[in-house]
């Protein structure tokens, strides 16, 4: 047995609905601007090829856990997203509901300077997620998020600019997709700030829901 120079961190995992075998997260890829109305609210338009950014695997926050308000921001934003969980050979294993938490103030600064988004997107605990529902049937219904019971985001999965299949094809041109990869597929319009104490609840028809408290 190999001895390591520093302690090995636990494997990040996401529960799988109806199973006692958790999903081991390899990496998290995220699509930017995949709903037209959200692209417009972010100042973009048109159907540019999808672009990707990533979060570290251990950014996942399992269902039921609180989300700590991150350091270095005064404008933490919610982005509700359909998440695709990949199985062997990059096939679809299942789907989950996720929130792509964003330090919007940092992101705006990075955009203005042409700098990378890592610190705006890939910070600790930036990927709260529901249990994964196994199955390859791509959801087509409503995606929504509320803060303290007030609906902030409500859209339709069918309104994605790039469909789940197209997103996976494009990602597959850039990376060899493997079991354990999670793909956040973009958010509809209505992103906005959340604060300490807020209760965030999200859902995707046919997949399920998630909720977390910001602490």
Sites of contact with Mn ion (CB under 5 A) = 79, 100, 187
The residue among 124 and 179 lying less far from Mn ion, judged by its C-beta, is: 124
> Nearest to Mn ion by Cβ — which residue?
100
CB of 18 to Mn ion, least distance (A): 28
CB of 186 to Mn ion, least distance (A): 6
The residue among 16 and 96 lying less far from Mn ion, judged by its C-beta, is: 96
> Is the CB of residue 105 less than 8 Å from the CB of residue 74?
yes
> Is the CB of residue 70 less than 8 Å from the CB of residue 123?
yes
CB of 143 to Mn ion, least distance (A): 12
CB of 187 to Mn ion, least distance (A): 5
What string of DSSP letters covers 27-43?
EEEEEES-BHHHHHHTT
The residue among 35 and 93 lying less far from Mn ion, judged by its C-beta, is: 35
The residue among 16 and 184 lying less far from Mn ion, judged by its C-beta, is: 184
Distances (CA, A) of 20 to 23, 25, 92, 171, 179: 10, 16, 19, 29, 18
**H/E/C letters for each residue in 44-96?**
CCCCCCCEEEEECHHHEECCCCCECCCCCCCCEEECEEEEEEECHHHCEEEEE
CB of 180 to Mn ion, least distance (A): 20
The residue among 79 and 181 lying less far from Mn ion, judged by its C-beta, is: 79
């Amino acid at each position: 047995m190999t001895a390591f120079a520093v302690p090995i961190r636990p494997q990040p995992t996401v529960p799988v609905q109806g199973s006692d075998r958790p999903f081991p997260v390899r990496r998290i890829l995220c699509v930017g601007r995949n709903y037209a109305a959200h692209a417009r609210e972010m100042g973009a338009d048109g159907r540019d090829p999808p672009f990707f950014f990533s979060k570290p695997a251990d950014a996942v926050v399992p269902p039921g856990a609180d989300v700590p308000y991150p350091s270095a921001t005064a404008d933490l934003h919610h982005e509700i997203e359909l998440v695709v969980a990949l199985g062997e050979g990059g096939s679809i294993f299942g789907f989950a509901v996720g929130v792509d938490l964003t330090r919007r103030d940092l992101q705006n600064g990075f955009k203005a300077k042409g700098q990378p988004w890592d610190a705006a997107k890939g910070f600790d605990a930036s990927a709260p997620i529901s249990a994964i529902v196994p199955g390859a049937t791509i959801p087509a219904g409503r995606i929504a998020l509320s803060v303290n019971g007030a609906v902030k985001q409500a859209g339709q999965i069918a309104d994605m600019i790039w469909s789940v299949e197209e997103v996976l094809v494009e990602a597959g041109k850039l990376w060899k997709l493997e079991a354990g990869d999670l793909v956040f597929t973009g958010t509809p319009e209505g992103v906005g700030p959340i604060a300490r104490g807020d209760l965030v609840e999200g859902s995707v028809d046919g997949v399920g829901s998630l909720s977390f408290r910001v602490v």
